[in-house]
Amino acid sequence: MSDHEISLAGEAVRLLPERAIYWERERALVVADLHWGKAATFRAAGVPLPPGTTAGDLTRLDRALRRTGARRLFLLGDLFHAREGRRSGATLSAVAAWRAGHPALDVLLVRGNHDRHAGDPPDDLGMTIVNAPHHVAPFALQHEPAPVATASYALAGHLHPGFVMAGPARQRERLACFVIGARGAILPAFGSFTGTLAISARPDDRVYVIADDAVIAVSSLAGR
């Protein structure tokens, strides 16, 4: 694994190829847009998708927690994709088993738009639920990227950002990415069954793509 260390609002953080940010001082892992149970929601609607996406994402989350030694987990919205996924026995069993394996982990969920429709997670998952923005200085934790009224630096998700890398012979590949701006950062979607949206980054934004097990700085936005 090849992380990328940067400074945000004066804080040392690491951008992880697991699609997460690790905040060193708080020993906190920050992720956005897990969309647990999305495949189950599609199956409930009659779309024949294979199971296992939530379990795979939980394995990746386990790996990030283990690698960093995080004691806190900040979830920036859209934990469950929809009510159907939240009610799925297989999804809830997988999530409950994961939570049982991390009894001391302090988990905070900042509600996103899908959470308002899916409903809050079950109480036995032991999560603190808050509305956005939630301030943990110097950051404002929120789901949708938007300026905050205070001097806090915003950490958000929602957009599922992707960056199109172009190479010789007309190769083009859209990769999940972190977008680091002057007043806020947008995290990639953590969920593997989410897709990406090609971003419109500003010239002063820094973009870091996730390529397999590495986070790589994009030196120019010309390839977008």
Average pLDDT across the chain, whole number = 86
Q: Which amino acid is at 86?
A: R
What is the model's pLDDT at position 168? 64
Helices marked H in 101-214 — which ranges?
113-118
Domains belonging to the chain, first-starting first, are 4-223 (3.60.21)
What is the model's pLDDT at position 31? 98
What is the model's pLDDT at position 219? 64
What is the model's pLDDT at position 220? 47
SS3 content of the chain, % helix, strand, coil (to 5): 25, 35, 40
Token output for 38: 């999305």
Cα–Cα dist 99/208, whole Å: 30
- pLDDT tens readout for residues 89-114: 678 888 999 999 999 999 999 999 87
- pLDDT tens readout for residues 213-224: 999 999 644 444
- pLDDT tens readout for residues 166-203: 766 566 788 999 999 999 999 999 998 677 888 877 88
Cα–Cα dist 133/41, whole Å: 28
Instruction: Give the number of other Cβ atoms within 10 Å of residue 19's Cβ.
Output: 27
How far apart are the two ends of the chain, measured CA to CA in Å?
Answer: 25
What is the model's pLDDT at position 162? 95
| pLDDT score of 153 more than 90 | yes
- pLDDT tens readout for residues 110-143: 999 877 877 899 899 999 999 999 999 999 999 9
CA angle centred on 116, ends 23 and 88, rounded to 5°: 90
Greater model confidence, 37 or 35: 35
Cα–Cα dist 224/198, whole Å: 8
- pLDDT tens readout for residues 49-60: 344 578 889 999
Task: Tell whether pTM > 0.85.
Answer: yes
Cα–Cα dist 40/10, whole Å: 41
| pLDDT score of 158 more than 60 | yes
What is the model's pLDDT at position 169? 58
